Amino acid sequence: MNYIKIDLERHLGQIHPHIFGGFAEHLGRCLYGGIYQPGSPLADERGFRRDVLAALHRLQMTIMRYPGGNFVSGYHWRDGVGPVADRPARLELAWRTVEPNHFGTNEFIQFCRQLNVDPFIVVNCGDGDMREARDWVEYCNGTQNTTLANLRRQHGFAEPHQVKYWGIGNEIDGSWQIGYKTPEEYARAYLEFAKVMKWVDPSIKLIASAVSSWRAEYVERIQLLIEQAPDLIDYLALHWYVGNPENDFAQYMAVSELLEQRLSAIEGLIQAVRLQRGITRPIAIAVDEWNVWYRMQGTTREELHDLEEKYNLEDALVVAMHFNAFIRHARSVKMANIAQIVNVLAPIFTRPDDLFLQSIFHPFELYSRNCGRIALDAYWSGDTFSSGDYTALRTLDVAATLDDRARKLSVFVVNRSATQAQETTLKLDGGQFTGTGCAWIVNGPDLKAENSFTDPNRVGTTEASVTTRSTSANFTFEPHSVTALSFDL
């Protein structure tokens, strides 16, 4: 028997809607053949796949990161603006291919407007320089009579794009990156890039590339960055990918501990440096690349398979645990971008004439639809499991949110038992349930169940009702499931 207790007055922090972010890179079939397929009967007049847009709309994403990823460290934005026929095809070294540059800044902005998401552009801090970065800000956001703002107007965009979120470099701590930088080199480059970009448009928010290599010297890297550019960092970007290469379900489910450890460590580090240096400005965390990625790994194109990972039910549970962690760390995690959105490590998988929704689509939809604006400090106890060094891990992984305007409580629960349903009593403090609650359950026949073109609904969402009594409710969570409970208060 499990027990979840929620006190409506115990707030952990405000949840930023940007935790439901996406990421679209020039990589494999994410853009070309995913989002963008001009000439296809499925595409609109701009070349955007209507079916893909409709599926993305269901996810209610809020922000989109672009154009990379590793790609951006060799990308020069001028190649991707102006008449398509005049754009150069370039050798692309990050993924060893040829980039036609048919999709560029303006196509990206139009895509964001269509999806109603905030654009988030990462500048090239690999083989690009600060002049190119500041010029990109001016091209996008310039309002004066300057050559770059006029170039945008000449390209058909009279109004500024008003891109507010700008990342400086991608995974700059990794040897695989074009233009890898040591902590000292990056802190120095960041400061100079950030300075001129903000001078062009002081309203922009800047994201520093902090950690992707979790075994490298990230403590030193973050300390240097904050010390050298305390007034110019709005977010520190973290990246991670997780997986189940050993095919050990319990070990995979214990990934929640890794997420907690990493987020708590970075929160503590930011706090420590701010305290030591008397920095009063807040610095948030942006987990601007995260997902499951372990199957399509390697160094050659053949091994990588354009990163077209096929996801199963256990991956969907792991995606849900990410959202639980982001909610529990709502005070510091102000942005998170699933990597990526279509075909490449993605919840949506296309072929020229169709698409299907991968298992991980369903938890994303569940959370973005039901998440309130306030993270609540849920207490829970009950059945446990062990994995390796971890003992007494609670079988349920829980997060709770409050929508204070609509007076709605949402409780998100991942049942990490492969075989056991989990009977649970929910107790409420500081309010009362009114009427019957609703449950949306993501599940499938077994842990390895996947969706495909031939069987698109093996993993999906079902609905049930939840009986309530004043301040309590009972619910039995299905084995290997993700559930969102929603209650009117």
User: Residues interacting with ligand AHR, by CB under 6 A?
Assistant: 25, 68-70, 170-171, 289, 339-340, 345
Phi, psi of 446 (to 5 degrees): -155, 170
Task: Please report how close the Cβ of residue 288 comes to ligand AHR at its closest, in angstroms.
Answer: 9
| Closest CB 298 distance from ligand AHR, rounded Å | 13
Q: Which is nearer to ligand AHR, 142 or 347 (CB)?
A: 347
Q: Which of 74, 142 has the CB closer to ligand AHR?
A: 74
What minimum distance in Å lies between the beta carbon of 137 and ligand AHR?
21
Q: Where are the strands (E) in 212-292, listed by range?
A: 235-242, 284-292
| Preceding amide of 245 cis, omega within 30 | no
How near is the Cβ of 416 to ligand AHR at its closest, in Å?
Answer: 26
Token look-up 């990163």 returns 307
* CB 449 within 8 Å of CB 410: no
192 is catalytic: no
What tokens appear for 370 in the block? 């039901």
167, 121 Cβ separation under 8 angstroms: yes
State the nearest-atom distance from the C-beta of 345 to ligand AHR, in Å. 6
Catalytic residue among 138, 171, 309, 314: 171
Shortest distance in whole angstroms from residue 23 CB to ligand AHR: 7
With respect to ligand AHR, which residue has the nearer C-beta, 25 or 234?
A: 25
Between residues 99 and 171, which has the closer beta carbon with respect to ligand AHR? 171
Active site residue 25: no
Q: Would you tell me how many other CB atoms lie within 10 Å of the CB of residue 176?
A: 12
Please state whether 118 falls in left (phi above 0), alpha (psi between -120 and 50) or beta: beta
Residue nearest to ligand AHR (CB): 69
Nearer to ligand AHR (CB atom), residue 95 or residue 477: 95
CA-based R_g, the chain, Å: 23
3-class DSSP state of 265: helix
Cβ closer to ligand AHR: 118 or 309? 309
* Pick 99 or 397: Cβ nearer ligand AHR: 99
Three-state SS annotation for 320-382: HHHHHHHHHCCCCEEEEEEECCECCCCCEEEECCEEEECCCHHHHHHHHHHCCCEEECCEEEC
The SS3 assignment for 13 reads strand
Q: Which of 25, 138, 289, 314 is catalytic?
A: 289
Shortest spacing between CB 94 and ligand AHR, in angstroms: 7
20 to each of 55, 105, 208, 266, 428, how far by Cα in Å? 15, 22, 19, 20, 27
Output the 3-class SS for 378-423. CEEECCEEEECCEEEEECEEEEEEEECCCCEEEEEEEECCCCCCEE
Active site residues: 171, 289
